[in-house]
């Protein structure tokens, strides 16, 4: 019994856990020297856009016309 306990203790002492895939960049932000690029964002303004489907590109396959997106967006 003592021999088994000694073998288990030696085996457990020989086992280590090592993290091989450590991140190279900080977890809290971008790497040092990385450029902060955001389209439409400057130091004193932010441009906001609207996403809409391009139904003109599928007109050959279907007869869908959702109208003038710009006019609908600007309507009051």
Secondary structure (H, E, C), 52-75: CCCHHHHCCCCCCCCCCHHHHHHC
| Residue 21 clears pLDDT 80, i.e. is over it | no
pLDDT class for 72, splitting at 50, 70, 90? confident
| Residue 74 clears pLDDT 80, i.e. is over it | yes
| Residue 16 clears pLDDT 60, i.e. is over it | no
What's the token pair of residue 46?
Answer: 């932010």
pTM of this structure: 0.32
């Amino acid at each position: 019994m003592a021999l088994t306990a000694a073998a288990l203790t030696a085996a457990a002492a020989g086992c280590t856990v090592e993290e091989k895939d450590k991140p190279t960049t900080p977890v809290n932000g971008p790497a040092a020297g990385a450029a902060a690029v955001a389209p439409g964002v400057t130091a004193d303004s932010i441009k906001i856009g609207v996403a809409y489907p391009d139904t003109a590109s599928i007109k050959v396959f279907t007869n869908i016309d959702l109208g003038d997106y710009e006019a609908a967006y600007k309507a009051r």
